[in-house]
C-alpha cells in the first residue's frame, strides 16, 4: 500500500504536520484520550480509530503503547472486555477541601490579566499550588504553568476569567 502523503510528495514531515506519524508521547496521549472517550475492545479497533483521527500507527506500535500506558482489559456491563488505563494519583481529582487548604496555605496574591491569572506564593511553593489546581477539575481552568514563586493559571475561553480569579482568591482566603 502506498502512503498518500509520500505519493503526494509530502514525505514523512508532511504527514507529521497533518497528524499522521506522531512522536511516542503525542501518540500515547491520543490513545489515552480515545480510551477515555469510547469503549475499545481490540488493538485492531484502536489502530482504526487512530487512523480515522489521522494518526498512523501499526498494531505492534499500539501494543507497545498500551503496555507503556499500563492499559488493562476490564469488563463493562454486558460482559464485554475493553481497554482502560488505571488512574494515577497525579491524575485523580483532588477534593474541593484539599484545594481550599492548599490555596489557603500557599497563595499570597491573585491578579488577573484577560484570560490569565497570576498566583504568587512563597519561594519554592508554586508547583504545589499548580499541582492541586491541575488535579482539582475546577471549572474554567485549562491548566497551569509554575515557576518558583509564581504560577500562571490559564482560563478557558468560554469561562469568565474575573469569576475564576474571584473564586481562586476566595478559596485562598484573600
Q: Of 3.40.50.1820, 3.30.2000.20, 1.10.10.10, 1.10.357.140, which CATH number belongs to 4-84? A: 1.10.10.10
Q: What is the pTM of this model?
A: 0.49
- In the chain, which ranges are E strands? 72-75, 81-84, 109-113, 116-120, 141-146, 150-155
Q: What is the pLDDT of residues 22-50, one digit of tens each?
A: 788 888 888 988 988 888 999 999 999 99
Q: How many CB atoms lie within 10 A of CB 173?
A: 10
- The segments of the chain whose pLDDT lies below 50 read 1-19, 89-91
Q: What is the pLDDT of residue 72?
A: 81
Q: Are the CB atoms for 71 and 35 separated by under 8 Å? A: yes
- Write phi, then psi, for 5 (nearest 5 degrees): -65, -45
CATH of 91-172, one of 3.30.300.90, 3.90.1650.10, 3.30.1360.40, 3.40.720.10: 3.30.1360.40
Question: Nearest-CA neighbor of 24 among 80, 52, 62, 54?
Answer: 62
Amino acid at each position: 500500500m502506498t502512503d498518500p502523503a509520500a505519493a503526494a510528495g509530502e514525505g514523512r514531515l508532511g504527514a507529521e504536520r497533518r497528524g499522521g506519524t506522531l512522536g511516542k508521547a503525542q501518540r500515547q496521549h491520543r490513545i489515552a484520550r480515545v480510551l477515555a472517550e469510547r469503549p475499545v475492545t481490540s488493538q485492531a479497533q484502536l489502530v482504526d480509530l487512530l487512523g480515522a483521527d489521522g494518526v498512523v500507527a501499526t498494531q505492534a506500535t499500539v501494543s507497545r503503547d498500551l503496555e507503556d500506558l499500563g492499559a488493562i482489559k476490564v469488563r463493562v456491563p454486558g460482559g464485554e472486555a475493553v481497554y482502560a488505563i488505571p488512574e494515577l494519583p497525579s491524575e485523580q481529582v483532588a477534593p474541593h477541601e484539599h484545594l481550599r487548604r492548599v490555596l489557603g496555605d500557599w497563595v499570597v496574591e491573585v491578579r488577573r490579566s484577560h484570560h490569565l491569572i497570576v498566583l504568587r506564593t512563597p519561594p519554592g511553593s508554586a508547583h504545589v499550588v499548580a499541582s492541586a489546581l491541575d488535579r482539582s477539575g475546577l471549572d474554567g481552568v485549562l491548566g497551569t504553568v509554575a515557576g518558583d514563586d509564581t504560577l500562571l493559571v490559564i482560563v478557558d475561553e468560554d469561562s469568565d476569567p474575573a469569576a475564576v480569579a474571584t473564586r481562586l482568591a476566595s478559596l485562598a482566603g484573600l
